[in-house]
Amino acid sequence: MERTLTILKPDCVKKQLIGAVINQIERAGFRVVAMKKIKLSKETAGEFYGVHRERPFFGELVDFMSSGPCVPMILEKENAVADFRTLIGATDPAEAEEGTVRKLHADSKGENIVHGSDSAENAAIEAGFFFAAEEVVRNN
């Protein structure tokens, strides 16, 4: 079993799509092993996306990610990292495959509904960013 870290971003929460997106995630075979609702500060959002610090969109990204509550989750499934990236679609919803979370719900490249880890190694780091060990519990 592999784990990935997702965040239902502030646009997802504002659009009241938490349930719809989690439904799509569960129907695709992922298990939610950790979940919380949290409003990130600009500082924390910048720390999470630190790898993008030098990119031109960094300020916009930090403002957006701290603009309202979000819902980070740890998901478990075989091949979770790659399968979740497939489920959410390309970063830019205009380029995302039909039926993907971003194609269905995202407005733009910047406000694209969900985060998904890009490797198992980063998934573990990102999971530790949001969750303590006792908050990570398998369903059965």
91 binds, among Mg ion, ligand DAT, none (CB under 5 to 8 A by kind): ligand DAT
Residue 140 to residue 138: CA distance in whole angstroms: 6
112 binds, among Mg ion, ligand DAT, none (CB under 5 to 8 A by kind): ligand DAT
91 binds ligand DAT (CB under 6 A): yes
Residue 131 and residue 19 in contact, taking contact as beta carbons nearer than 8 Å:
no
Tell me if residue 136 falls in helix, strand or coil: coil
Mark 1-30 with x for binding to ligand DAT (rule: CB under 6 A) and - for no binding.
------------------------------
Residue 56 and residue 2 in contact, taking contact as beta carbons nearer than 8 Å:
no
Residue 88 and residue 100 in contact, taking contact as beta carbons nearer than 8 Å:
yes
User: Any catalytic annotation for residue 115?
Assistant: yes
For the chain, how far is it from start to end, CA to CA, in angstroms?
Answer: 14
Nearer to Mg ion among residue 23 and residue 102 (C-beta): 102
122 binds ligand DAT (CB under 6 A): no
Residues forming contacts to Mg ion in the complex (CB under 5 A) are 118
Catalytic residue numbers? 115
- Which residues are annotated binding-site positions? 9, 57, 85, 91, 102, 112
